[in-house]
Chains A and B, each alone.
Chain A
Amino acid sequence: MTKGNDFMQHQTRRDFLGDSAKVCGAVSLGALTERGTAQAVPPAMSICRWGGVAEGADAVKTIATRLTEEAVKAVGGMASYVRQGDVVWIKPNIGWNRTPEQAANTNPDVVATLVRLCLEAGAKQVKVGDRPCHPADEAYKNSGIEAAARAAGAEVVLVDENRFRDTALGGERLKNWLLYPEIFESDVIIDVPIVKHHSLATATMCMKNLMGVAGGNRGQLHQDLPNCLADLTMFLKPKLCVLDAVRVMTAHGPVGGSLDDVKQLNVIAAGRDIVALDAFGAALLGHDPTQIETVKRGHERGLGEIDYKKIVPNEMSVT
């Protein structure tokens, strides 16, 4: 319930200070970091590249699992984010009725590894769920996430259209929107997107992935995607983001379908700085992050650092 309390504080401060975006951003950034810093501050971001050899049918699984483990370890380990008895909501991209090879959804082994790490860190309950664009049954099943997460010990939750609640976000653009209470009432939200091409945002990553928490006619949000995503991020405050770039979709996103548009990069980045992670993801797809509106606005709204190199990510090669 701490999240709800923080939100209330955020509201009152915000009302008090007025509508200044900068001040608001600073405050929320404070709220973002104040709880993750128990002891020495761990690195805000890690980038893990696969440097080993993996062969056979399970090659991708091995790569995804190892990279996830190391990326989380490199930002202080899961215990820095998940406390004993926490309820964790892992929010992958399960938007589409597509197979893992088509790289439209988050890699199931990344999700499964995160579930395991959370449970090892003492989480009371780990829930996994997303509001898909395609029929939920099909997307959950064919993405491989339902089976993998369940096997790892998570509760796979169907995001029910009837359980969204009109929620005051108090954002710059989004004052109210239908959000899923079970997600934002969790103690910890872990945002686990896959790096993909997107025709409007150019690239879709951590901030865009939070759209899955929103209900209703969310197509509307595309009319001002940068501000809407910043508002959502400010409200939801994911404690940890894990960027899956084991496979990336380079064109015809976010649905894709053709294996010609999929590239296997074998990279996973993790951290607390959602903007830096998105900037890094955009760079992976060959874009200049400063040219991407959503990342730029995230930086301007004080959600993180667009020049991810400036925060000195913990980079490493994993075998």
Chain B
Amino acid sequence: MSRTGGTGLEAPATKRAKHTGKKHGLWPRSWMQMLRRVSQALFLGWFLGLLFAARELNAGDAERFDHFFFQIDPLIQIFTWFSARTLATFSLLAVGTLLVTVLLGRVFCGWMCPLGTLHHFFGWLGTRFRRPKDRLRAAAWTRAQNFKYFLLAALLVMALFGAHWIGIFDPISLLQRTFGTAVLPALQYALEDSSTAVYQADPQVGPLHATLLTEPAYQFTRDHVFTKARKAFLGGVTIFAVFLGILGLNFFRNRFWCRYICPTGALLGLFSRRPALRLKNDASACKQCDGCLLVCPAGAEPHHPGKYLPTECYACWNCVAACKFETIKFKFARPLRRTTEAKLDAKRRSVVTAAAAGVVGFLLLRVSPQAQGKTYNPVLIRPPGALPEREFLQRCLQCGLCMDVCPTNALHPAWTQAGLEGLWTPVLVPQHGFCEYACNLCGKVCPTQAIQALPMPEKKKVKIGMATFDTTRCLPYAYGRSCIVCEEHCPIPTKAIYFVETEVTLRDGAKPVLKQPRVDAELCIGCGICENKCVFEDRAAVRITSANETRHPQNQPILAGGAFSSVVADSYAP
């Protein structure tokens, strides 16, 4: 590291030395930067590894999924504890993260967070695209960086009221949801569709075929990288768009999301007001060249001796590496010791405003009748083992892990079905997939047990809804044709769909006897395979609604018990 900076030192004419204006390149300029990048790569790799591992799970796997990233995330752990008012899902690893933060500052953001790593990369890319004259302005701290604390406070107030909306903003949840329901399915689609196009276009003449290359490659990715049956998610577009949006904001300000929005960063910022690891800028030696400012992705003000902001700093070491005069260094101090450094701007007025915003946000989520528990949405079918709606929402992180592991692509991120509070929470859409009878994966992977991990015999008894026949569409009722597809697929060992043989009159006067299906409400668990396999692809003639769901006694119209036998009379007959 020979940076004894000849020219800069010998330019005393002006007080302020001019920074070189050079773009900072791809190659790290210090060992600490290198180490940080290795750490970032490892954690991102680990995150992706777990993501792919989840997609490979199948129902035979008894062991719980590894929730490492959810467990080290203090926002998830603490806020879920507050909103669900239970420590049941609390992980002590999050306390570890907080202790590390008290000692070392926001190293979680700078060295570990997988979303932070992506932002770091795109932020660097954004800097390279930025005009030199804009670079200093874009790198400087602005008051808007306090917005994230504002958001954190509002979310805290909401959580204390029992509204759990952190999953929308939490970086781990956000990345898990985005990769699981949008990025990976899109990638798989691209590979699958292009190889299918080659497969179909290949004329199969002569010994050499393009498919000799594309088919093994396609099959390898299908069997070992992605899922065998490709998934596509309702609402994946919005999730993808949000992700692209926040990545794009890096071209406006470096690590925009982390600097201005991320509530996890804000929480860690609160814990790093007086960390042990502090940046020291020697005021007497600093030439004020602003070289450190140019490379700071955090707006942590390394260039103002005495005004450095530890709450914003990711300890990324860019500034130390960039300083030509070696006046900036990280040094250890006694933690919690007061400093002269600028504090987080937390005036009483801001705190009160944030709290008020939290109350308003909470009310906004609870305005609708459904949110107040007055009505039940027929299409709001939750995965088996989901807690009653209010408790479910108090825990669900909208992370999409359940959607990722669901083998039939039945679970989708809700858009409007669950109200604003339930945005991107899992909802089962039978048109796209059914709840596989011998599968309890969603409960096994849920990081907060919003979906309970039920043993298989219990899971098979849980009702998530009930089937209803649309006799204006169902073939043996409406079109005089035989069809037993729903009954055939019904997984209940004694069949929840049964037949009543009925004579129907056709247009030509013929009177065939057809098997008309009915639902046995006692047996039907609402798995949705009947709706999924119905010959009607647009709107099935048998559909599941949330009625009879085990988790809501108020939503069970059918009085249980053997005193009443199911209807066999021809009340359906035209």
Give residues in A with beta carbon < 8 Å to B: 97-98, 133-138, 141-142, 158, 160-163, 198-200, 217, 219-220, 222-223, 225, 252, 254-258, 260-261
Contacts and interface: CB of A to CB of B under 8 A. Distances in A.
Contacts of A198: 488
7 contacts: A136-B228, A137-B407, A138-B439, A160-B222, A162-B199, A163-B196, A255-B491
Nearest to B439: A138
Nearest to A255: B491
Contacts of A97: 59, 436-439
A199 B229 contact: no
Chain B's interface: helix, strand, loop or mixed, by majority? Answer: loop
Contact of A133 (B223, B229, B489, B515): B489
Contacts of B537: 217
Interface in B217-273: 222-223, 228-229
B495 A252 contact: yes
A163 B499 CA distance: 36
Contacts of B439: 97, 135, 138
B484 A222 contact: yes
Contacts of B481: 223
Nearest to B60: A141
B349 to A, nearest CB: 56
Contact of B475 (A137, A142, A223): A223
B223 A158 contact: yes
Contact of B482 (A134, A200, A252): A200
Nearest to A201: B484
A162 B407 CA distance: 17
A189 to B, nearest CB: 20
Given A97-B438, A217-B537, A223-B475, 14 more contacts: A98-B438, A134-B436, A137-B58, A141-B60, A162-B192, A199-B484, A199-B488, A200-B515, A217-B535, A219-B483, A225-B482, A254-B488, A257-B437, A257-B493
B407 A135 contact: yes
B493 A261 contact: yes
A177 B59 CA distance: 33
Interface centre among A133, A137, A217, A258 (most CB of B within 10 A): A137
Interface residues of B, number: 37
B485 interface: yes
B482 A138 contact: no
Contacts of A98: 438
B432 to A, nearest CB: 13
Nearest to B495: A252
Contact of B229 (A135, A142, A254): A135
Interface in B479-507: 481-485, 487-495, 499
Contact of B535 (A141, A158, A219, A257): A219
A162 B219 CA distance: 11
Contacts of A199: 484, 487-488, 499, 515
Given A200-B488, A223-B482, A258-B494, A138 B223 contact: no
Nearest to B479: A223
B451 interface: no
Contacts of A222: 482-485, 488, 535
Contact of A220 (B494, B515, B535): B535
Nearest to B196: A162
A138 B483 contact: no
A252 B485 contact: no
A161 B229 contact: yes
Interface in B516-558: 533-535, 537
Given A97-B438, A198-B488, A261-B493, A137 B228 contact: yes
A188 B303 CA distance: 77
A141 B58 contact: yes
A190 to B, nearest CB: 24
Nearest to A220: B535
Given A142-B60, A217-B535, A256 B493 contact: yes
A-B pairs, 6 with minimum CB distance: A258-B493, A257-B493, A219-B485, A135-B407, A200-B484, A219-B535
Interface of B: 58-60, 192, 196, 199, 222-223, 228-229, 407-408, 436-439, 475, 481-485, 487-495, 499, 515, 533-535, 537
Contacts, number: 88
Contacts of A258: 493-494
Contacts of A142: 60, 438
B408 A163 contact: no
A199 B487 CA distance: 8
A66 B228 CA distance: 35
A138 B222 contact: no
Contacts of B494: 252, 258
Contact of A255 (B58, B488, B515): B488
A142 B489 CA distance: 17
Nearest to B490: A255
A138 B490 contact: no
A161 B222 CA distance: 12
A257 B491 contact: yes
B437 A133 contact: no
A73 B481 CA distance: 43
A137 B229 CA distance: 9
A161 B492 CA distance: 26
Nearest to B223: A158
Contacts of B493: 252, 256-258, 260-261
A142 B59 CA distance: 10
Contacts of A220: 535
Interface centre among B475, B481, B495 (most CB of A within 10 A): B495
Contacts of A225: 482
A184 to B, nearest CB: 15
A222 B222 CA distance: 31
A252 B475 CA distance: 21
A198 B484 CA distance: 9
Contacts of A136: 228-229
A135 B488 contact: no
A138 B484 contact: no
Nearest to A157: B219
A225 B485 CA distance: 12
Contacts of B408: 135
Contact of B58 (A138, A160, A161, A254): A138
Nearest to A253: B488
A134 B533 CA distance: 11
B222 to A, nearest CB: 7
A160 B223 CA distance: 11
B185 to A, nearest CB: 14
A251 B321 CA distance: 75
Contacts of B482: 200, 222-223, 225
A225 B488 CA distance: 13
Contacts of B59: 97, 138
Contacts of B407: 135, 137-138
Contacts of A219: 483, 485, 533-535
